[in-house]
Amino acid sequence: MEASTGLSRNIANTILEGFNRHFSIFQQITSGARERFEQADWHAVHASSRERITLYDQRIKETITKVQELYKIAGLDLDLWRDTKLCYMRLLSYHLQPELAETFYNSVFCHQFDRIYYTNEFIFVRNAISTDYIESTDSERVSYQSYYPNEIGLIAAIRQVIQQAGFQTPFEDLERDMRSIRKAIVKRFRGKLARKTHLNFQLSVICSPFFRNKAAYIVGHYTNGREDEGFALAVLNNEQGQLYIDTLLIGEKQLSIVFSYSQAYFMIEHQVPSAIVDFLQKILPERTRSELYSSIGLHKQGKSDFYRHFLHHMRHSSDKFVIAPGIRGMVMMVFTLPSYRYVFKIIKDKFAPQKEFTRKVVAEKYQLVKRHDRVGRMADMLEYSDVSLPQDRIHPDLLQELLDTCASSMTISDGKVIFKHLYIERRMIPLNMYLETATESQLERVIRDYGDAIKQLAAANIFPGDFLYKNFGVTQLGRVVFYDYDEINYMTECNFRKIPPPRFPEDEFSSEPWYSIEPFDVFPEEFGTFLLTNPKIRKVFMKYHKDLLSAAYWQKKKDNILNGIYEDVFPYPEGLRFRR
């Protein structure tokens, strides 16, 4: 028994060493975000983001190999792994990232053993260690700092916030930016009564800025009487050795787009991620902990928290999974639980004839989206293997369609339907369905945003491939997001062409084109044929996005990318930006 406990302790130590190594490398990459931003090294920004996403799986494989080689682990010894979990829990008592370490342990175990052992007896189905009030061991690295405008004045307090954000690069014109901030505050809080200060008036600001793409964000919240709202100062680099404040965002609605599930992951250096997530949840109460962990690059923790929340919801609901609203996909079978705001997607066994690719290619496209900058226009997804759902919670019509289209990806056993592989995304209103009931003002807004989405994806080196409205969704905030990834390609892989003039008059009436077409050829002037049949939609589209029908526009975007020009894509409306 003593020998077994000693082995369990050694295995637990080895797994924790694997996690600590992972988090150290993760932090090392993250800590370079400030320098990359201040040097305007946008190529390195994108490269480091991709590198950080792949870290976790590498460390898991490395740790499993070490455990198996050191301790000759071949099969599952139930008593040994029960003890190993208990030993691991003891090691986490004073750990600064216990929830992340628990998730790492789960991954090591689940990659080795059968799903029937994925219970709280062997893994952390529930968190064992509380993350409440964990703080950094470094007294200089608290999670947030408070400022008191009643003592020094609001503008002076905000100036202090900016100066203490740690930027080494000088500001282009900080006095101008401070005037812009003051105007934004006056506009937001109209009238003396709205601007009255109370005894408890304070600003609380996360000590490290959030870095993503070409921007940094100083994030905090203010408390004044009973009011308590989040805010963020967006800091940009003019690429001439100076910084400037681009806007002030106040309130959950404006911040939600910045922290959207369709954005790339932030980089923020801190020893206690749970403290950052706790702070963010106060200013973004509609965002789940899963989404917030994912937003700061800890997407595996996001998966763990999502799954716990999902299991909790399943225990406290009784509705059935049904086929998701919208036009059936040619590649994916999509279903949803009406009481839960997500959709579940499974790759079909066979695709429609016009889809000339394999299941492997589809999986690779989804991985591409995971690693790429989504610029707020592609939904993030959670990817799971061996997911079990109660058969009696699946509507008979859905179950039959799953059996007809996805039989190789599922098994039914003991009243459970087990899916080998599925993707989970936020549920949105399909754009084609939204347009069916949209008012004129809604139609104009959403078609304008649809075109903006395509342009912003193009700027990020993503060509959607299939522009049909059914492949886009409208979020709760009314933002258009692309979510069908099976035909996406890099812009740099595409050849944008203008249709050559017909050789003879009868060419235009031929069922076959009179010009050659290679696999990656794209003819933008054809987009209107299938997108703009509705006169109202056509009128709005041509008003704002006529250039999308021009091969020259697309070629210019491609040339910019090839020449290393990274265009600005802002997660907030242009109208909120400060004048310079």
| Separation in Å, CA 241 to CA 61, 236, 401, 433 | 42, 11, 58, 47
In the β-sheet with 472-474, what is the strand arrangement from edge to edge? 429-430, 472-474, 480-482
**The two three-digit tokens of residue 46, written as one number:** 């994108």
**Taking a C-beta distance cutoff of 8 angstroms, is the pair 479, 260 a contact?**
yes
Residue found by looking up tokens 């409208």 in the block: 474
Question: Residues 278, 373, 380, 484: which is the catalytic one?
Answer: 380
SS3 257: helix
CA dihedral 211, 486, 467, 299 (to 10 degrees): -20
Residue 365, beta-bridge partner list = none
Rounded Cα gap, residues 460 and 156, in angstroms: 38
Alpha helix stretches (DSSP H) within 372-504: 396-406, 431-437, 440-459
Strand 429-430 vs strand 472-474: parallel, antiparallel, or unpaired?
A: antiparallel
Closest CA to 347 of 357, 339, 338: 357
Strand 495-496 vs strand 521-522: parallel, antiparallel, or unpaired?
A: parallel
Rounded Cα gap, residues 94 and 91, in angstroms: 7
**Taking a C-beta distance cutoff of 8 angstroms, is the pair 348, 342 a contact?**
no
For this structure, is 177 an active site residue? Answer: no
Question: What does DSSP assign to residue 475?
Answer: -
Rounded Cα gap, residues 296 and 319, in angstroms: 33
Residue found by looking up tokens 């050694």 in the block: 10
**The two three-digit tokens of residue 350, written as one number:** 């066979």
Amino acid at 111: H
**Taking a C-beta distance cutoff of 8 angstroms, is the pair 122, 76 a contact?**
no
Q: What b/e readout covers 305-322, taking b as 16+ CB neighbours within 10 angstroms?
A: bbbbebeeeeeeeeebbe
The region, left, alpha or beta by phi > 0 then psi within -120 to 50, assigned to residue 113 is beta
Rounded Cα gap, residues 339 and 341, in angstroms: 7
| Other beta carbons within 10 Å of 150 | 14
Interhelix angle 174-188/154-163, rounded to 10 degrees, is 130
Q: Which residues are catalytic?
A: 380
